[in-house]
Each structure stands twice: as C-alpha cells, then as structure tokens.
Amino acid sequence: MRSRLLLFLFLSFSYLNAQSLLDNAIKNLENSYTQEKVYLLLDKNEFIAGENNWFKAFVFKNYQLTDISTTLFVELYDDKKNLIDKKRVLLINGQGDSSFQLKEDLQENIYYIRAYTTYMTNFSEDYQYIKPIPVYNKNSTRKFVLNDKVKWNAELFPEANTFIENQTTKFAVRLFSNGLKPSKWSGYVIDKNKPTTKLVEFENYDENVADFYFKAESNKNYELVVLDESGNKQAIDFPKPQKNGVKLEVILHQNEVKYRLKAFDISNSLKNYKIVATLNNQLVYKAEIKQNTEQLSNGIPLNKKLNGILQISIFNEKDQYVSSRLIFVQPNKFSKKPQLSFDVNQNKRTNNSIQIINPTSSNYAVLINQLPTNENLLSALWLTEDLKTSIQNPNQYFSEETNLKALDALLISEKWKKFNWSSLSSGQHPLIKNKPEPYLSYKGRAIKNGQPITNSTLNFFINYPDSNKELEMVETDEQGNFYLKNIISEDDFSINYFENSAQKKSKEETFLNISLVPLNNFVPLKKELPQSNYILSEKVVDENIASTYREQLENNKKIESNKIRLKEVIIRAEKENKTKKLNDELASSLFKGMFDTTFDFVNNDYNVQSYRDMADWLNGRAAGVTTDQNGVYIRMSRAKIYINEMESDFEAFKAINPNDVAMLKVYKNAGLISNAVAIYTRRGNHVSPDSSDSKNLFIVNGYNKSADFLSIDDYDKIYKKVPSDMREVLYWNPNFSTTKENEEIIEYYNNDNPKNYNLTIIGFDKDGFPVFYEGKIN
C-alpha cells in the first residue's frame, strides 16, 4: 500500500550533504514513531441485554495490517468506567474475532468497547479504539434518549494556520458537538464596523465542514457568523492577520500535489527553506530551496500506491518548524471492490446467495445487517483512527459520491498530532517499555520442596483443546525463572510439567510447583470515556422498550434454547461417532453386537481416579451389574471376564490401573459370549488430558474465542419454532474463506421482513490493500 517516494530536488533545490537538525528529526520520526491502530466491525449498532455482541478486529501498522502484535485486548465498560467484561483476542496477520455475551441484568444505558494492543500502550490513549454502544433492557427503570439540546460550536481554520493581510486565504469552518450536528448550516463574514454588509457568504458541504476564500485588509476587524436551519447562531472573531510570514497553498491534482510558497517581509526570503512531506510518520518527499526567492511553486509526484493523509511541512533556514498542511492524496483509490453476483429475493424465510467471483482475498469478513453504521473500515483506516476528533458520518468521505472539497476542508481543520517537530528535533521519542510478546507468552518460576529449581530443564506437555499435544522444554535461570512463549490456543488448555528425569538426584517424593504470569496483559484505562449523544431519563409507568426489541428478546431466548438442544444432540452424536470409531478399532466381530453397553474412556471423563479399582468403578454402573470381592455379576449370575478379548479372571481385572483403560463393554445374554465384561487397555494413540499426573497439572487461560453464529443449516431446524423472525443480522462470518479458482457463495436465510438490508464485505489483497464493499441488497 505504501511505496517510498523520496525525492531530493533542486532548481531552486539542492541535495543536503551533512546531517542537519531536520535530518535527525526525520530519522527519529521514521525509527521511533511507528504506531498501530484498531478498527472493530460490530455485527450491529444497537444491542439488547442478554444477547451476543460479535466483532471482527483489524489491527493496522500505518495503513497495512500489523506485523507487530499477535494479541488484542478488548474490554467492555459501563458509563461510569466500570469494567464489565474483557476478551483476549488472537490476531493472525492483524485480524481476529470474538464476542461479548451481554448479561441480561445490564441496565439500559450506553456502554463502551475499548480495544488496544500491548504495543499501543506505549503511546497516548487517545489513539486506542473506544466506541459507545447502546444496550436496551426492558426491565430497566431508566431509558436513554437522544440529547437534542447539545449545542454546536464553530471554529475557523486558515489554510496551513497562516493568515496574512491583503492576501487571499482559504478558510475551513468546522462544527464540533457532543451531540448531533445540523445537516444544513451556513455563514458569512462581516466587517465589525459595517455589520449589515456580508463580505463573503458560504453554505456547508456536510454536517462537519464548509470553506470560503477571504482577503483581509489592514487595520480592520472581521467577524464570522455561523447559523443553522433552526435559527441557532454563533459569531466568531477573526484572528488578527499577520504582516509577515510564509504562506503555503496546496492543491491536489490527478498525478501530483501542487504546493506554492510565498514569503512576506522576511529576511533572506525563502532561501534555505525546506519542504518535507510525510505520510504515516514516514518521509516521502524532501527539498531545500537554494535560491534567494520570495515565491515558489512545485509539485510532489504521486506514486500509484501512495495514498492516505499527506502532511506537508515547512522549515526555515534554521530547521525550525514554520507551518504544515494535511491533504488526502489519491482519495479515489482507497479500496478495491469485489466482483459480486446476487441471487436474492425479498420473500420471508427463504434462502439467498451472493457469489464472490474471482476473489482477490483469501479471507473475508462478511456481514448482512439492517442498519449500516456511520463509520466503516475505510473511514477508520484512512481518517478517524489517526485524527481522533469528532467527525460525524466519516464514511461519507470514502464512498463513490465523496465530495473531495469537503474532505479537503476537513483536513485543513485538522492537525497531525502523533508527533511534533519540536520534540523530534530535540531527539525525544516514545519509551517502548511495553514490548509485544508473541501470542500467549509467560514468565514462570519453578519451586521444588520450597526452593527454586535453578539452571535446570523442565518438560512441559501442553494439552490443547483439539487433543493436540506439544512438548516444550524450558531452561530455568539462577533464580528459578523461565519463559514459555508463542502458544496459540483459542480456548483454555492444560499443562503437565515435570523436571527432566536426567536431573533428578533422588527417587524420594518431591513437591514441584510452577507459577506463570502473562507477559502481555490488560492495562487499566486512565483517560475518561468520551461523551455520548444520549442521556438517561426515568421510564413512565408501564413504559418499555419498543415492541420490536421485546419480540426480538423473546425470540433470542427461544432461539438460544433451541440452539442448546441442537448443540446437545450434535455433541452427543459426535461422541457417539468417536466411540463407534474406538469400538471398530478395538473390538472384533465376535465382541460387537446389539446386546452390549459400551463405556468409552478415551473420549469421556469417568473420573476413574476416584475409585480403588475397575471393579469398584463398575459396581452399579450398568443396569443389573454388581460387583463384590469375588467377582462381577450380571442379573445375579457370575459374568465372564475378558481382557483385550482374552478370557481372564477377576483378580487380573481388579489389578488393571483405571488410567490404562480405553474401553469397557458389558454383555447381557450376547450369544456365544453370554453374560460378560470385556475390558480393553489403551494403546499409544489413546491419550486423554486426565491420564497425566494431576499433581503436576494446571489450567491456563487461552484466547477468548467467539460464540458460534447460526449457520444456514441451523435456521430450518431452529426458526420453525419461532413465530416472528425479527433478526437484525441475517449473516455474520468473520472468516469467510475463499480460493482463487472457485466462485465462493455466501448463503443466508431471510427473516419475516427482509427489506433494506446492508451487505458489508472486507478483505485484503496480496499487497495488503483493502478489498471492500458496502451497500444495500436489492
């Protein structure tokens, strides 16, 4: 996405041979100010207490998916900054997903989602992701309502923050508000001595900005008046124009950024002034003026892959910062569009499909929901997560109907605050004290019999939830400390730990104790939460949330109940399949039949460690089966004993270690076998987490994986019992996988009113450039 376009020019311009103060500042910028930013795609904008909040996370380093962090921390706060819930999210190539289960007793209010990486905590909290979300609750005594009494405030910004008398200057007017801004507003400029004469008039581009050109005369006082369609009005004094200085004008052309410098009453005019352009804290252009001139025009050529917010900064002959201007370069090239084919309808409770043809990304996030947000991945990536001021409906600047004049006016009113040139020149840089660790990483300490195990090797057997196992050998230092790093598990996992047997000096029983402390951890929020557009008020008697929300809440409960029952059936079926596979592996045809009861010890936890032996465990375990000190009985008749299908005796049966048992079968009047118990011992591949020494076992919290979202196959089974399907989200898949050879199909199931639904598709091509679609499904 970023291509280095570094030019040292002269005409006018000359190369700089020695390292100057400015060179050192630029070097400091490029080496020390790389930063990350986060965007979360939420499944919807508003929530009901008791339901899930799904999200897909994208973490960027500048404009590329990050290669710095592998863990994202996501937190949920109430409006008093009390932590409600938190998630540790696995990042693969800068992407991850998870979900919050919103508790049913959450009061109706505005809540806040915060997201950050460990690396981001080295910089200002202003650049962490914080988003307010409304949560409804029909049982709350209070409700939130839109605060329509919040006033707006207008501010005036001259281009490059320079206003020189008798020179035509471009101004941006920006509205700020903690509430909603008016959609229509206008303004004019007056001479305070002639208040009835409007010198300049303008209309707003959008809710945020307007612009105009104005030339101030000497010794006059001017005033800007801004008013909205409701009659609200604000008057602003113009800043005093300067008599001297350097005026910077910037204009975007198709293939270059034109800039013009003009000096007014300054010594040596523009000689030895420097022009520096940076994009995402990286240098892309630099030039020095060698001629003694009062004005200069030139252009910065644009590489095809160079786009984003460009900062053009001016420095004087002493390398002192003079002024700067932000401009968005190549604003029409902010994403690629996937090629789609629609086979959809607006019939209730019917199947639909959307094809992604010739996909350019191997993995997409796909969302079909009712209400599009006023921000999206593009506005977050290119604008709001870098500037962090209040911008209403920022996604309007990254659509096919983008008003480029409005975007330019917006950037005139902004400053790049991720660094300042004065600090860079003095050599200051952020202290990176919180270093990102690879995935789940821990610092541990090993203690044996009360003393640290020093300079030794420990064996860690990591048991993952998917039954995979891994051996990690770690070395302790002189204090008994060690590091365990780079673990990836999307659920809790267990670790069995042992001292290397070659190092044991005694066979006496020892007490080995291990403690682990995460190296990447949650960091408390210090700053205050942002204000929202809502206020709380008391509900009137019998007042409740809207009927659609009530119906959806009841539906959610029914659906969840159906999901649980369906999940129980699926889990039971999966266990039955695993048991059948084990039975096919161990039992011969003679020992298979309709009259046996099978106990699978490989895929089930029967807590055998709590029993003296297998005879003690078996007593009463199956109908009609009893045991005593002499044998096993089935319906009062002594049962035969088979061990690995060889007939044996009761003493051998009792002598088997319960942890060595893979399967046990009870036969009742089963043909040639008649009444019998057959026991099968474990083989090399029959390992379960509970087979290890529990004294040296502990459970470790893994990443917080996402709750399951209903698949297309689930709807026919679940929604038939739901009388009114009011779903706001018809499809959610944060990891829609594709291949280049095949057309990939998105299948979804309509609700009872499938109109005005919005499709969002997010992916990245092989160069890391966004592949993005957002629009209505027609």
SS3 for 678-705 is: EEEECCCCCCCHHHCCHHHEEEECCCCC
pLDDT at 767: 87
Alpha-carbon radius of gyration of the chain? 34
SS3 405: helix
The DSSP code sequence of 586-652 is H--GGG-STTEEEEESSSS---GGGSSSHHHHHTTTSTTEEE-SS-EEETTEEPEEEETTEEE-HHH
Cα→Cα distances 157→187, 206, 669, 746, Å: 14, 17, 93, 47
pLDDT at 11: 40
Say what the pLDDT of residue 286 is: 93
CA distance 13 to 288: 5
Q: How many residues does the chain have?
A: 778
Q: Report the C-alpha gap between 315 and 289 in whole angstroms.
A: 11
Tokens 């502990």 belong to which residue? 698
**Are residues 229 and 182 in contact, defined by beta-carbon separation less than 8 angstroms?**
yes
Task: Read off the pTM.
Answer: 0.80
What does the DSSP 8-state code read for residue 420?
-
Burial of 547 (0-12, 13-18, 19+ CB in 10 A): exposed
Q: How far is CA 688 from CA 82, 581, 582, 653, in A?
A: 40, 16, 13, 22
Residue 520 near residue 119, CB atoms below 8 Å: no
Q: Which residues pair with 498 in a beta bridge?
A: 459
Residue type, 374: N
Among residues 65, 97, 96, 54, which one has the least CA distance to residue 771? 65
Scored b (16 or more CB within 10 A) or e, 179-204 reads bebeeebebbbbbeeeeeeeeeebeb
* Listed residue (251, 189, 248) closest to 216, CA to CA: 189
Q: What is the rounded distance in angstroms from the CA atom of residue 253 to the CA atom of residue 330?
A: 9
**CA triplet 250, 327, 9: central angle to 5 degrees?**
60
Inter-residue contact 698 to 515 (CB < 8 Å): no
- Between CA 460 and CA 228 the distance in angstroms is 68
pLDDT on residue 65? 95
At 159, give phi and psi (nearest 5°): -60, 130
Handedness of CA 136, 564, 365, 523 (dihedral sign): positive
Alpha-carbon span 182 to 769, nearest angstrom: 35
Tell me whether residue 525 is exposed, middle or buried, using C-beta atoms within 10 angstroms of its C-beta: 0 to 12, 13 to 18, 19 or more. Answer: middle
Determine the residue type at 573.
A
Print the SS3 string covering 604-616: CCCCHHHCCCHHH
**Which pLDDT belongs to residue 15?**
41
What are residue 736's phi and psi, to 5 degrees?
Answer: -85, 110
Distance CA 40, CA 59 (A): 9
Question: Could you count the other beta carbons within 10 Å of the beta carbon of residue 384?
Answer: 19
Cβ atoms of 489 and 467 within 8 Å: the answer is no
* Cβ-based neighbour number of residue 166 at 10 Å: 11
On whether the CB atoms of residues 757 and 368 are closer than 8 A, the answer is yes
Q: Are 656 and 675 in contact (CB under 8 A)?
A: no
Residue written as tokens 């190549």? 330
Structure tokens at 639: 């049962």
Helix (H) or strand (E) holding 653: helix 650-655
What was the pLDDT predicted at 6? 46
Which residue shows structure tokens 């460990």? Answer: 118
Phi, psi of 511 (to 5 degrees): -115, 105
Could you list the mean pLDDT of each consecutive 10-residue stretch along the chain, which spans 778 residues? 44 50 90 93 92 96 94 95 94 95 91 97 94 90 79 95 95 92 95 94 96 94 95 94 94 89 89 92 91 91 83 94 92 82 89 88 90 87 90 90 92 92 88 91 85 87 80 89 91 81 50 82 93 79 53 61 52 68 86 80 77 83 85 88 88 81 86 85 59 64 88 72 83 85 80 89 91 89
pLDDT at position 554: 60
Q: Helix, strand, coil shares of the chain as percentages rounded to 5? A: 15, 40, 40
Three-state SS at 363: strand
Residue 311: what are its φ and ψ, rounded to 5°?
A: -110, 120
**Which tokens in the block code for residue 328?**
């968005």
Is-contact 763 363, C-beta < 8 A?
Answer: yes
Q: Which residues contact 461 (CB under 8 A, 6 or more apart)?
A: 469, 470, 471, 495, 496, 497, 498, 692
